[in-house]
Amino acid sequence: MEKLKGVILQTHLDMVPQKNSDKKHDFEKDPIQTLIDGEWVKANGTTLGSDNGIGVSAALTVLASKDLPHGPIEALFTIDEETGMTGAFGLKPGFLKGDILMNLDSEDEGELYVGCAGGIDVSTTKKYTEEKSPRGMTAYRVVAKGLKGGHSGVDIALGRANSNKIMFRFLIQAEADFGIRLAEAAGGDLRNAIPRESYSVLLVPGAKAKAFEIFVKGYEKIYKAEFAETEPTLSFACKKVDIPAMVMSKADQFKIIRAIFACPNGIQRMSQAMKGLVETSNNLAIVRCIKGKFEAHNLTRSSVDSSKLATAWKIAAVFHLIDAKVTLTGSYPGWKPNMESPILKTMSGVYKKKFGKTPEIKAIHAGLECGLLGGVYPKLDMISFGPTIRFPHSPDEKVYIPSVQMFYDFLCETLKQVSAK
């Protein structure tokens, strides 16, 4: 079958390391503890790595098979997809010979993806002044936890809470009502995961301590009510701690709290071209206010490059107003759908014949590597598909076992049916 068109099976090797706060796990040393839960595979308190371990497994199985009929095959395994797509960025022209690229990195069986969002990182830093903690104050550690988090593209439309946003929403009113002094704050640890936990250490005038504790409980009730459907395990609470030696200056505290509160987050615009598709979004992924240094990291996504840049500059404008340094880096293009794609037509026909129904044709609000790879190899006929995965980039990640066999059988049948040159 050497005269058939060459097919490139493309997947990424890295995973997003997320774990619950009560789980002891070193991702660089400890194996993932997998569990079978009915018809799902999940992990014990950590991300599973099915994104994109399942794609890697499928490609390796094709390579290992001694009886699967197919034409020329190349397997392209990329590194660091989750942290900036540096592997795809490093790909050079002339390295690949195939005509068709199958990206094995989407997350709903029965769906064929023909487009994706591009992205850009918006990072902010600022040094702030510290001063000695005032006397007559009571110190508290306020913690937001129990949130679901998830993939900052795929799950951005689910209405989940962003722990950084709910923390700084609380802080802006606490500052106004109680005259708090902020010692430190932090939340989130990965640019492409919706932050699940955040904390702040702050001082309250001693005479207002009891009222402040009631105030915190009130905010927990507010958040539980607002996110009753999406965040059933949300917790927002405080406990007394030792008074820290230093706090942020009042002037810097005023600016930083308001900048985080005002920073755009979540869906910014829905697609007009494809119903139900998020066009543009931002994830306020990481915030740090520790020992005189403030930093915030955003991942902005859009299937429209001009909208991506406009949103990135809107975020930059918020932080420029507090005299922070802002950098825009790691920009990568989206993947424009081609509804006349030959591989799309072939796979639609194969799926209907094999499973008795027509697959859904979609675009995804996430950064598939197809956008970058298509920029280097503009003549590639590209498509993305995979088994059913839920809640990637969070400890709730799971893969639907029956869908894995369907996905692999579909891949194998497609390789048989790829047309000749």
* Positions marked catalytic: 14, 81
CB neighbour list of residue 225: distance below 8 Å, 6 or more residues apart: none
Query: Which single residue is written with the structure tokens 């910014």?
Result: 268
Rounded Cα distance between 229 and 248, Å, is 36
The full 3-state SS of 360-404, as one line of letters, equals EEEEECCCCCHHHHHHHCCCCEEEECCCCEECCCCCCCEEEHHHH
Helices and strands (DSSP H and E) totals, the chain: 9, 21
Residue 362 CB: number of other CB atoms within 10 A? Answer: 18
Nearest C-alpha neighbor of 399 from the set 16, 11, 51: 51
Which residues touch 182 (CB under 8 Å, ≥6 apart)? 171, 175, 200, 201, 202, 247, 248, 253, 257, 289
Other C-beta atoms closer than 10 Å to the C-beta of 221 total 10
What Å distances lie between residue 400 and 106, 143, 346, CA to CA?
13, 33, 25
- Phi first, then psi, for residue 410 (nearest 5°) are -65, -45
Q: In terms of Cα–Cα distance, which of 200, 209, 199 is closest to 138?
A: 209
Nearest alpha carbon to residue 385 among 114, 51, 75, 157 = 114
Strand partners, 121: 299, 329
Q: What is the amino acid identity at position 182?
A: L
